[in-house]
Amino acid sequence: MTKPPLFDQATYLELSAELGSEGTVEVLRLFLADTSSKMIAFASGPYSGPLIKHEGHSIKSSAATFGFSELSALARELELRAETMSPEVLSKFVEALRQAFGRVLNLAQAQLLGSGTEIA
Amino acid sequence: MRTMLRNTAQSKGRLLVVDDDLVHQTIIGKIGARLGYDAVIASTLEMAAELLQQEAFDIMVLDLSLGEHDGIELLRLAAQRKLYAMPIVIVSGCDERIMNSTRRVAEGLNLFLAACLTKPLNLDSLRDALCLPARGRIESNRAAPPPEVSRERIVAALANNEFSVEFQPKIDLVTDKAVGAEALVRWWTPDFGWLSPAIFIPVVEQFDLMPDLTNQVLSIAIASGRRLIERHPGFVLAVNISGSSMNDLTLPERIESILRAEGVAPESLIVEVTESVAMSDVDRATDILVRLRLKGVGAAIDDFGTGFSSLVALAHLPFSELKIDKSFVKGCETNEDMVKIVEASAALGKAFNMKVVAEGIDSPATLARVRQAGCDVGQGYLFAPSLRPERIDRWMTQRNAEGANHASMFEPRLQVANRFLGRGM
């Protein structure tokens, strides 16, 4: 299966056309801050399947709204399979999600928010 | 709770956004504000419930997943508060089956479901849904309570021959010709006007007058249908048999006697029995249906799939026709769950060597889908509503003379059909 792209710019532009560029940046900052908190929470404790499923559900939809396709696809996998994965596999998936979010964060800071912009 | 004031000079009203996801609630609130709504955002079920108790909203966008709670609880609360006119837009990242079931819950609660949108949201669809006006139909429908019908009034109606029948045509889906019709009871009175069967049938049942009405309807239907049977070779007349009539072991003989008196062949009649009626006393139903079949009369299982014993009824009773209930057929082309039921029902019918009829065909798209599913016969407003006896003969002659491609010629005459919100006996 082909790996989804990190970023689908057309989706982001659609959102931008609807909310205006300022409005979109405002919501994007919320997303990045909110997802950062979730990643920190993942890192801090033993993985809980139901919690990761719930967060995966949320990240899946929000990431797709901005066009962050790779992150959305990984979150979807977690939502579908988190409760049945072994702790080792779950740990690998969460790490892959964290790395994908790191790439999103870099891209957002470099291209969408402007350099030096704080996330939240 | 957060608020987002409208970005426009003119207010479109108040929008309640119920979503525990920070990003989505903000996007929905912002789009609402750009459309002219003053948006109020609730992140939890409790917060939303409190807002609905205390304040008025013109529209609500509701996420189905609300942390430990779910949106269904709020739908129930909206129904308890009688917020029937408030458009509700459901949003969810859940799969289509859950969305479809949610739609049915909302319809069952009589709520105004403006749209069901999956996340990630299609922003155009969200905007369209937020632009819908509120409805007033629930209030207007409830303005006139149904008249109370007494036992004496029904007895008088039976004595005065006030009941009549109309015929809804059944169309062969291969030849596209009309091959029969279902007789539906009608009652017009000077005091009430046209009364829906949904109003008077339960009263007739309640006062144990159903066998009398069934007798009268059978006589009227067979007498009125005789001309159709004579003029249109192969025409089969369908008559509904009620639960109480199916308790009467003399029913086959009574039907035979009416057929003989009218000079109609038994093969030209089919009785329609719902599965719940058939299964309420399966031994009695088997006795009656076997004897009817031995006499040459057909038997259809009606509203197939709506009861709890569909498969048992199919396996035990000698039905020759299976009628898939309209609740599965209507709009099935856009609902994969319903298509699966229609296809499975059609396959079951075929496996039992039965003719399969799809009820409730209202659009060319539904017609195409039920044809694809393998149904033999169709019935619904796309072809015709129920027609008076003097009209159906002309209608059938015209249709069958003109050949194929009729479906598009006959516009759904919903206004006429909506006179009767319920079905006949």
Residue A109 DSSP one-character state: I
Per-residue pLDDT reduced to its tens digit, B278-303: 888 888 889 999 999 999 999 999 98
Rounded Cα distance, B347 and B373, in Å: 8
Rounded Cα distance, B58 and B66, in Å: 21
- Own/partner contacts of B247-251, CB < 8 Å, gap of 24 or more, are B247/B281, B247/B284, B248/B211, B248/B288, B249/B284, B249/B287, B249/B288, B251/B288, B251/B292
| End-to-end Cα separation, chain B, in angstroms | 53
Highest mean pLDDT among B7-21, B30-44, B393-407: B30-44
Residues in chain A within 8 Å Cβ distance of B65: 57
Token pair for residue B318?
A: 């000698």
Token pair for residue B323?
A: 């009628």
Let me know if B12 is exposed, middle or buried by CB neighbors in 10 A (0-12, 13-18, 19+): middle
Q: What does the pLDDT read at residue A118?
A: 47
Rounded Cα distance, B412 and B362, in Å: 7
Distance from CA of A31 to the nearest CA of B (A): 6
Rounded Cα distance, B316 and B81, in Å: 46
Do the Cβ atoms of B21 and A15 come within 8 Å? no
Per-residue pLDDT reduced to its tens digit, B145-175: 456 788 888 999 999 989 999 999 999 999 9
Q: Angle B123-130/A9-44 helices, nearest 10 degrees?
A: 100
Q: What does the pLDDT read at residue B422?
A: 38
Predicted confidence (pLDDT) at residue B356 exceeds the cutoff of 90: yes
Rounded Cα distance, B218 and B241, in Å: 9
Nearest neighbour of B121 by CB, restricted to A31, A57, A65: A65
Mean pLDDT (chain B, rounded): 85
Nearest neighbour of B23 by CB, restricted to A14, A23, A62: A62
Nearest neighbour of B27 by CB, restricted to A58, A65, A72: A65
Residues whose CB is less than 8 angstroms from the CB of residue B251 and which lie 6 or more positions away in sequence, other chains included:
B241, B245, B288, B292
Query: CB contact, 8 Å: B98 with chain A?
Result: no
Quote the ipTM score. Answer: 0.86
Strand B37-42 relative to strand B2-4: parallel, antiparallel, unpaired?
Answer: antiparallel
Full pLDDT tens readout for chain A, 120 residues: 578 899 999 999 999 998 988 899 999 999 999 999 988 888 776 777 777 888 888 899 999 999 999 999 999 998 888 888 888 888 888 899 999 999 999 999 998 886 444 444
Q: What does the pLDDT read at residue B307?
A: 76
Confidence band of B269 (pLDDT split at 50, 70, 90)? very high
Per-residue pLDDT reduced to its tens digit, B371-380: 999 999 999 9
Residues in chain B within 8 Å Cβ distance of A31: 22-23
Number of Cβ pairs closer than 8 Å across A and B?
Answer: 49
DSSP B206-268: HTT-HHHHHHHHHHHHHHHHHHHHHHSTT-EEEEE--TTGGG-TTHHHHHHHHHHHHT--GGG
- Own/partner contacts of B205-208, CB < 8 Å, gap of 24 or more, are B205/B242, B205/B243, B205/B244, B207/B151, B207/B154, B208/B244
Yes or no: say if B425 and B217 are a contact pair by the CB < 8 Å rule. yes
Rounded Cα distance, B172 and B180, in Å: 9
Yes or no: say if B304 and B327 are a contact pair by the CB < 8 Å rule. no
Q: Which residues pair with B87 in a beta bridge?
A: B112
Yes or no: say if B169 and B181 are a contact pair by the CB < 8 Å rule. yes
Per-residue pLDDT reduced to its tens digit, B79-89: 988 898 899 99
Token pair for residue B419?
A: 């006179």
Do the Cβ atoms of B120 and A26 come within 8 Å? no
Token pair for residue B202?
A: 């339960």
Residue B171 DSSP one-character state: E
How many other CB atoms are found less than 10 A from the CB of residue B100?
Answer: 15
Nearest neighbour of B23 by CB, restricted to A18, A65, A72: A65
Rounded Cα distance, B40 and B13, in Å: 11
Yes or no: say if B59 and B89 are a contact pair by the CB < 8 Å rule. yes
Q: What does the pLDDT read at residue B68?
A: 76
Rounded Cα distance, B233 and B182, in Å: 16
Residue B349: left if φ>0, alpha if ψ -120 to 50, beta else—which one?
alpha
Residues in chain B within 8 Å Cβ distance of A23: 30
3-class DSSP state for residue B358?
A: strand
Q: What does the pLDDT read at residue B418?
A: 37
Residues in chain B within 8 Å Cβ distance of A72: 120
- B58-B62-B64 Cα angle (round to 5): 160
Query: CB contact, 8 Å: B125 with chain A?
Result: no
Query: CB contact, 8 Å: B5 with chain A?
Result: no
Query: CB contact, 8 Å: B198 with chain A?
Result: no
